[in-house]
Amino acid sequence: MRAVTEHAARIGNDRKREKNIHAFQKNMKRYWPFYVMLLPCIAYYVIFRYGPMYGVIIAFKDYIITKGIIGSPWANPWYKHFKYFFNSPYSSRVISNTLIISGLKIFFGLFPSLLLALLINECAKKWYGRVIQTLTYLPHFLSWVIIYGILIALFSQSVGLVNRLIAGAGGTAYPFLTSPDHFRAVLISSEIWRDTGWGAIIYLAAISGIESTLYEAAIIDGCGRLRRIWHITIPNLTGVFVMLLILRVGGILNAGFDQIYILSTPQVVGVSEIIDTWVFKEGLQRMNYSLASAVGLLKSVIGMVMVLSTNKLARRWDKGLW
């Protein structure tokens, strides 16, 4: 009886597999132009994302640049470079700075985009909303080098506009960009200014997909604008919000290399040194490739664990990505 059941199960699986193959072939014939357009994207990820993963084994070797990856000897023990990082006097400071800066960016960075999208969507004059949207997402296309120049022009202790106004009012110029107590606030606020408008585009796209009949029914029932936002718009945006949260939590150890490397100065290195900048200095400037690769691999593994954990938690409310 058991053999008959297993045989029937195998037949069912074979038929299901054949059906899936047939459906795939049918879709390939029907939508082949779209698959062709997808090839450059696949090639990009294969060449620049999956191909370099071979170099991960440097983290478990005493890499010598003249011998290459294969010729370099294996580290003894295999966790030698990981142990060295955690025993170094910099590890606690680097990890804590990364978590604090990333946590602040996640906490303060998600809600402004949502709020801006709601405000733009509720504009009575649509042309005005489009103008505001354009003006707010333009800073996203500015490099951090240009933004640093803007910050210098505004907050420099000697020539900054803000400090000139403070001095003109009888106050004392303050070192906003070189003060350890305020440097993180500069990081968070500058990133919010740069990316809020860009993040609002995702929410506006989700808002445009909400059924207009829901708003019409709410108006008939006497709901005001705030009630419509609270009971219709926001509930329909929770899925997008959770998706962005999962992606941001997955990159919690990516505190923003470009921004911090450009804005950081020797006066604030104690509160600005993160894993990415430390790996850059250790790997490229001090040529300690194995140690830098080990720390980079550790960061990637932790990020993957955070994505899986956050998605599993979100699935309890049916909001997971998969």
Domain range list for the chain: 59-317
Q: What is the pLDDT at residue 287?
A: 84
State the angle between helix axes of 234-250 and 183-208 in degrees (0 to 180), rounded to the nearest 10: 130
pLDDT tens digits, one per residue of 134-193: 898 899 999 999 999 999 998 888 888 888 888 888 888 888 888 888 888 889 999 999
Q: What is the pLDDT of residues 108-140, one digit of tens each?
A: 888 899 999 999 988 888 888 888 888 988 999
Quick one: angle between helices 126-137 and 91-121, nearest 10? 160
pLDDT at residue 1 is higher than 60: no
Q: What are phi and psi of 61, to 5 degrees?
A: -130, 160
CB atoms within 10 A of CB 235: 10
Pick the CATH number of 59-317 from 1.10.10.10, 1.10.3720.10, 1.10.540.10, 3.30.1490.270: 1.10.3720.10
Amino acid 68: pLDDT? 85
In terms of Cβ atoms closer than 10 Å to its own Cβ (0-12, 13-18, 19+), residue 105 is: buried
Phi, psi of 13 (to 5 degrees): -65, -40
Q: Whole-angstrom Cα distance, residue 250 to residue 242?
A: 12
Determine the Cα angle at 162 with ends 159 and 165, to 5°: 95
pTM: 0.79
CA-to-CA distance for 295 and 266, rounded, in angstroms?
Answer: 23
The pLDDT of residue 43 is 92
Sign for the CA dihedral angle at 284, 290, 291, 292 comes to positive
pLDDT at 146: 92
Section 199-220 average pLDDT: 87
